[in-house]
């Protein structure tokens, strides 16, 4: 371990309190403009730092890792998802990868429920109508949405965030269904009165709302494929606050346009930040700019986890949030 302060390159602007603490503890080089680093800048950064404090906007593939200098020993990711990092290639080169799990769970779950209600109750459409001067008074059949209470919610991926969504949803009177690699514990299942489906196809055909919370891996690419989306009932809605690659966005757009799926609430997109122009035009799609963890509290907590991971590595110990290929 280096006895000097390690050179830490931070690829995006982080909360001021986090950056200040990094400057106190490390030889930290900050990104003052908050512009994502170019490929050339990333190559230059990994060639001269001890620690790369990365974010989701950095594509850290095997080719980039091959360019890393001898000093690079830690990629401390600011975020829970690491699908933008080739963890196996980093591991093979002796570079540790860490993330920031847990601290964004509650905020992402809150936003998931927000999207459910906004989509079912046509909140964005209503707000836009008011802004456009189209509201001329109450009418019995205008801007009708759907009641949330009593609906069946199908959760795809019952990890930290999926479970937090389920707890909130149960309080709103939804019936909880879920698909996971394995059932949750009996205590959790009893608490949530949750129904487990080992077949994703069978669950999709029976629920009113689908909320996606699986990790993004090669195996989960287009987990909700065009074929599976067609299994949904016409009144169903789809919510995604996980990763855009989990859903075949083109197929979803077509089914929404055809009225074969009632609505979608999306915080993430397949070609982010690019969004399918056809999707942008659909009134039954509620679209947000990847803001699931966008609270002051979550972003500060994430930064503190990055600092703890770096500091633990500096002290010669295994960082608490190390990611290894077998975990993906």
Q: Locate tokens 């809605």: which residue?
A: 237
- Please identify which of the residues 179, 243, 249, 270 carries the catalytic annotation: 243
Q: Got the DSSP string for 141-163? A: TTT-----TTPEEEEE--SHHHH
Q: Got the DSSP string for 230-241? A: TTS-TT-EEEE-
What's the CA gap between 243 and 214, in Å, rounded? Answer: 8
Q: Locate tokens 């039954």: which residue?
A: 284
Catalytic site includes residue 290: yes
For the chain, report the end-to-end CA distance as a whole number of angstroms: 27
H or E element in which residue 91 lies = helix 87-92
Q: Which long-range contacts (CB under 8 A, 24 or more apart) does 28-32 make?
A: none
What's the CA gap between 129 and 58, in Å, rounded? Answer: 38
Catalytic site includes residue 177: no
Q: Is the dihedral of CA 216, 220, 225, 231 positive or negative?
A: negative
What's the CA gap between 130 and 8, in Å, rounded? Answer: 49
- Please identify which of the residues 106, 125, 254, 272 carries the catalytic annotation: 272
Catalytic site includes residue 272: yes
- Please identify which of the residues 23, 152, 160, 290 carries the catalytic annotation: 290
Which residues are known to be catalytic?
Answer: 243, 272, 290
């Amino acid at each position: 371990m280096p006895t000097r302060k390690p050179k830490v390159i931070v690829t995006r602007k982080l909360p001021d309190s986090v950056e200040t603490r990094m400057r106190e503890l490390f030889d930290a080089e900050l990104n003052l403009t908050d512009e994502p680093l170019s490929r050339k800048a990333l190559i230059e950064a990994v060639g001269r730092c001890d620690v790369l404090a990365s974010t989701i906007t950095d594509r850290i593939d095997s080719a980039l890792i091959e360019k890393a200098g001898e000093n690079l020993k830690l990629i401390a990711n600011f975020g829970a998802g690491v699908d933008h990092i080739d963890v196996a290639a980093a591991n093979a080169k002796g570079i540790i990868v860490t993330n920031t799990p847990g601290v964004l769970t509650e905020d992402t779950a809150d936003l998931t429920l927000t999207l459910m209600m906004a989509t079912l109750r046509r909140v964005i459409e209503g707000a836009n109508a008011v802004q456009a001067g189209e509201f001329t008074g109450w009418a019995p059949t205008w801007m009708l949405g759907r009641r949330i209470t009593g609906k069946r919610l199908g959760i795809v991926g019952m990890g930290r965030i999926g479970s937090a969504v389920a707890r909130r949803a149960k309080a709103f009177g939804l019936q909880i269904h879920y698909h996971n690699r394995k059932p949750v514990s009996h205590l959790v299942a009893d608490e949530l009165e949750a129904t487990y489906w080992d077949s994703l196809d069978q669950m999709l055909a029976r629920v009113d709302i689908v909320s996606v919370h699986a990790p993004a891996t090669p195996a989960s690419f287009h987990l909700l494929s065009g074929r599976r989306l067609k299994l949904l009932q016409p009144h169903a809605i789809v919510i995604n606050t996980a990763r855009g690659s989990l859903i075949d966005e083109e197929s979803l757009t077509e089914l929404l346009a055809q009225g074969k799926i009632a609505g979608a609430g999306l915080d993430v997109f397949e070609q982010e930040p690019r969004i399918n122009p056809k999707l942008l035009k659909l009134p039954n799609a509620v679209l947000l700019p990847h803001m699931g963890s966008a609270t002051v509290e979550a972003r500060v907590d994430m930064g503190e986890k990055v600092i703890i991971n770096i500091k633990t590595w500096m002290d010669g110990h295994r960082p608490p949030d190390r990611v290894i290929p077998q975990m993906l």
